[in-house]
Structure 1
Amino acid sequence: MTRGEPDTRPSEARLRLLTTATKIFYAEGIHSVGVDRIIAEAKVTRATFYRHFPSKDDLILAYLREVHQMDRGAVDAAIATSPSPVDSLLAIAGSIAQNVQSPGFRGCAFLNAAAEYPDTDHPVHQEIIAHRQWFLDTLTMLMAQVHEETADPAARHFVMLRDGAMAAGCLFNPALVSETFLRGIEGLLRINTERQSTESAR
């Protein structure tokens, strides 16, 4: 930052509040955690909390946007380091499988939040839908480079496999769930790659 420019960096207190909320919301749920708990664990005053987040909903939205940025970063990295669309999709699947096996895994933060905010008009629910639409759009773009005609159903199939792995990873052996998920994605990509090869050979 040069002299005379405004400091646009997030304040330490805001970062502490968001980090605390992200950890507790994911581990314990959103409705069960009150503002007082966040304030106490973040070690800030109530006035500081409300200066950064006028309501609990504002904090929840910031939490979901933070998780979205983490997910987006992982997907962008997978695409940037992969030589082909198929490799990108496999890398994305690999990142998901790794997440399922990570310590403290409690499923998809967005699916968990959707269960707590079913009202489609609520800003939190709309944030969830926006995240999922981004993920679907990204997969559809990649799938179109594998086999354009089946890109949409193939991308939706990927999302359903991913959602299943996220749910099952909390209930069953995470390593087995991850292996099953990856095999499903490999099969999906193999089918669509073969379709493209067959059509190109005609």
Structure 2
Amino acid sequence: MSRSTESGSTSEARTRLLDTATAIFYTQGIHSVGIDRITSEARVTRATLYRHFSGKEDLIVAYLDRADRAIRGQVDALARAAGRSAEDRVRDVARSVVDGIRSPGFRGCAFLNAAAEYPDPGHPVHRAVLAHRQWFLETVTDLLAQTGTEHADAAGRRFVMLRDGAMASGCLFDPELVAGTFLDAVEDVLRARDTRPPLAG
């Protein structure tokens, strides 16, 4: 758990540190960025950083936790939207992925990027990635189950794999082309629900 000198609130210095780390880690990678760079750009001392975080690893986990909470809030709101069919809520989640791909400064999935830099399954950063991905898989699978498919587990895995491919491709190729291909593929997942089990295994 990140340490803070504030009781019941987050200090301005901690927020600056996390804002700075978030921007740098996402755009430039994690291993390539040192504590000195973060403290310099956040305009705080090393001592201040260590009052709020036990070290760089703790800061990385906090960065991923912030991203996780933002995505959960967005996806959970879409998944619970009143007056929308289950199929449309799946489409809404897919469109939220596309919105990210189309956004300025898109550099892929923060969690996949972090997993590539921290491949050890036992590392706290890797565990934070897996926890986020398990939540996303379960959320999408539940939404797909609500569409009436008999193969929601397989359809959920297919959706997540399509999403991973779109996120990886979105920072390498034309975002509009990637977005259109992904949305078309999601429609295929929805159409397949009554005819065959997608991605058996």
Q: Indicate conservation of the 8 Å contact 1:147/1:195, yes or no.
A: no
TM-superposed CA distance for 1:134, in Å, is: 0.3
* Superposition CA RMSD, Å: 1.5
Q: Does 1:62 align with 2:55?
A: no
Structure number with greater Rg is: 1
Following the alignment from structure 1 to structure 2, what is the Cα–Cα distance between the partners of residues 195 and 86?
16
Q: Which has the higher helix share?
A: 1
Q: Which runs of 5+ in 1 are unaligned?
A: 1-5, 197-202
TM-superposed CA distance for 1:41, in Å, is: 0.5
Following the alignment from structure 1 to structure 2, what is the Cα–Cα distance between the partners of residues 173 and 77?
29
Tell me what 2:75 maps to: 75
Q: Which runs of 5+ in 2 are unaligned?
A: 1-5, 197-201
| Structure 1 range deviating more: 79-88 or 48-57 | 79-88
> Residue 55 of structure 2 aligns to which amino acid in structure 1?
S
Map 1:9-88 to 2 at 5 A.
Answer: 9-81=9-81, 83-88=84-89
TM-score normalised over the length of structure 2: 0.91
Following the alignment from structure 2 to structure 1, what is the Cα–Cα distance between the partners of residues 125 and 146?
33
Tell me what 2:139 maps to: 138
Displaced runs of 4 or more, over 3 A? none
SS in 1 for 2:30: coil
Following the alignment from structure 2 to structure 1, what is the Cα–Cα distance between the partners of residues 12 and 159?
38
Following the alignment from structure 2 to structure 1, what is the Cα–Cα distance between the partners of residues 76 and 121?
28
Following the alignment from structure 1 to structure 2, what is the Cα–Cα distance between the partners of residues 160 and 46?
40
Q: Indicate conservation of the 8 Å contact 2:162/2:185, yes or no.
A: yes
Q: Does 1:184 align with 2:178?
A: no
Number of aligned residues: 190
Following the alignment from structure 2 to structure 1, what is the Cα–Cα distance between the partners of residues 122 and 163?
25
Q: Percent same amino acid at aligned positions? A: 58
| Structure 1 range deviating more: 77-86 or 56-65 | 77-86
Map 1:62-141 to 2 at 5 A.
Answer: 62-81=62-81, 83-141=84-142
Following the alignment from structure 2 to structure 1, what is the Cα–Cα distance between the partners of residues 48 and 30?
20
Following the alignment from structure 1 to structure 2, what is the Cα–Cα distance between the partners of residues 89 and 44?
43
TM-superposed CA distance for 1:114, in Å, is: 0.5
